[in-house]
Structure 1
């Protein structure tokens, strides 16, 4: 069997709010309760993000989702509708732009606990 990433823990100030928001943006299921203390977001059939309530300070982590162009536009529409600031550069200013320099579309946002979320249609990390 190939090695597969099964789940990641996401530290949060308010695990329910954070899990619910991400699930709504990605249009995937989530639960207020899971195994142990977690609020799981079921990203796909093989990956769960387990939101966990942590005290301050906690590490800020970068998470990236690769999606189809159609899914990208739908998720970006939900980001816009939620009034979430986004940007085209990983460390750039909020510009409400989409990066199309890498053969696809990329946006970044930080919400709600400071973690950096990235959405892209083509992996620049896995070029042929």
Structure 2
């Protein structure tokens, strides 16, 4: 068997709110409860398992590779919710998307401030 990422824990202040936000923004099925987690499944068999904690949440970065059509859907949902978005992870290019590696990319924040990135081409992909 090859080594593959199976799941990661996303620390959050409200697992229902945060998991629902991600699922809605990415057009995923509704999160499913599993023990102490709310789980959002990706198409490549990786899951993001939301775990609620009372302490301050350390901000993380999560990047999602999508098709062009899926990017359009995510971006439409960003705009429909009036969310702030950026073309870069440092958040210096507000209200823009990037066109890195002949694709498109955008960054936005989840309810706990995690930086979510959606890209249509992997970094370094040939153009």
> Which stretch shifts more, 24-33 or 66-75?
24-33
Give the alignment of 1:4-83 within 5 angstroms.
4-34=4-34, 36-83=35-82
Deviation string, structure 1 residues 54-104 (Cα, Å, up to 9, x no partner): 122232111000111111111111111122111111102362211014321
TM-score by length of 1: 0.90
SS of residue matched to 2:118: strand
Q: What TM-score comes out, normalization by structure 2 length?
A: 0.90
| Residue ranges of structure 2 left out of the alignment (5+ in a row) | none
Tell me the C-alpha RMSD between the 2 structures. 1.6
Distance in 2 (CA, whole Å) between partners of 1:45 and 1:102 is 22
Count residues with an aligned counterpart. 126
Q: State the secondary structure of the residue aligned to 1:44.
A: coil
Q: 1:118 is paired with a residue of what secondary structure? A: strand
- Extract unaligned runs of 5+ from structure 1: none
1:2 aligned residue: 2
